[in-house]
Amino acid sequence: MKLLNKISLYYLLFAIPVMVACSFISYNMIFNEVIDNTDERLTKDFEQVKEFLKCDTIISHLSLNREITVIETGEKPVSTTPAFSDTIMYDNYEEEMLPFRVLKANFSTPHHDYLVIVGKVYLESEDLVDGIVTSVVIMFVLLIAGFFVINIFVAKRVMKPFNKTLSSLDNYDLSKASEIKFEDSSTKEFKKLNDALNKMTDKIFKDYQNQKQFAENASHEMQTPLAVIKNKIELLIQSKSISEVDMEMIQSIYNSANKLSQLNKTLLLLAKIENRQFAEVKEVNFEQLFEKTLNNYLDIIQQKQISLTKHYNSDVSVKMNPILADVLIGNIIQNAIRHNINGGTIEINLTPKSLTVSNTGNDLKVNADEMFQRFRKSEQSADSVGLGMALIKQVCDINKFSISYRFENKLHIITINF
Binding site for other proteins (CB under 8 A): 220, 223-224, 226-228, 230-232, 234-235, 237-238, 244, 247-248, 250-251, 254-255, 258-259, 261-262, 265, 268-269, 272, 277-278, 280, 296-297, 299-300, 303, 322-323, 326-327, 330-331, 334, 337-338, 381, 383-385, 388
Q: How far is the CB of 175 from other proteins (least distance, A)?
A: 20
Beta bridge partners of 83: 104
78/271 Cα distance (integer angstroms): 113
Half-sphere exposure of 245 (CA within 13 A, CB side): 0
Q: Which is nearer to other proteins, 50 or 265 (CB)?
A: 265
Q: Which is nearer to other proteins, 167 or 251 (CB)?
A: 251
Q: How far is the CB of 181 from other proteins (least distance, A)?
A: 31
Identify the CA nearest to 91 among candidates 131, 119, 130: 119
Q: Which is nearer to other proteins, 64 or 235 (CB)?
A: 235
Q: Which is nearer to other proteins, 258 or 317 (CB)?
A: 258
Q: How far is the CB of 396 from other proteins (least distance, A)?
A: 17
Pairing state between β 307-312 and 345-350? parallel
Please write down the HEC assignment for all residues of 225-241: HHHHHHHHHHHHCCCCC
Q: How far is the CB of 210 from other proteins (least distance, A)?
A: 21
Q: How far is the CB of 151 from other proteins (least distance, A)?
A: 56
Q: Which is nearer to other proteins, 62 or 237 (CB)?
A: 237
Q: Which run of H or E residues covers position 99?
A: strand 96-108
Q: Which is nearer to other proteins, 130 or 221 (CB)?
A: 221
Q: Which is nearer to other proteins, 151 or 335 (CB)?
A: 335
Which residues fall within 8 angstroms of residue 102, CB to CB, at 6 or more apart? 42, 84, 85, 86, 87, 117, 118, 119
Cα 36-37-39 angle, rounded to 5 deg: 65
Q: Which is nearer to other proteins, 168 or 285 (CB)?
A: 285
Q: Which is nearer to other proteins, 101 or 339 (CB)?
A: 339
Q: How far is the CB of 315 from other proteins (least distance, A)?
A: 24
169/400 Cα distance (integer angstroms): 20
Other Cβ atoms within 10 Å of 293 Cβ, number? 19
Residue 190 CA to its chain's centroid (Å): 18
Q: How far is the CB of 165 from other proteins (least distance, A)?
A: 38
Which residues fall within 8 angstroms of residue 387, CB to CB, at 6 or more apart? 263, 266, 267, 270, 374, 375
Which residues fall within 8 angstroms of residue 396, CB to CB, at 6 or more apart? 328, 402, 403, 416
Q: How far is the CB of 286 from other proteins (least distance, A)?
A: 17
Pair 385, 323: CB distance under 8 Å: no
Residue 311 CA to its chain's centroid (Å): 45
Q: How far is the CB of 256 from other proteins (least distance, A)?
A: 11
Q: Which is nearer to other proteins, 106 or 266 (CB)?
A: 266
256/259 Cα distance (integer angstroms): 5
106/115 Cα distance (integer angstroms): 4
Radius of gyration for the alpha carbons in the chain, expressed in angstroms and rounded: 49
303/18 Cα distance (integer angstroms): 90
Q: How far is the CB of 337 from other proteins (least distance, A)?
A: 8
Q: Which is nearer to other proteins, 154 or 263 (CB)?
A: 263
Q: How far is the CB of 227 from other proteins (least distance, A)?
A: 3
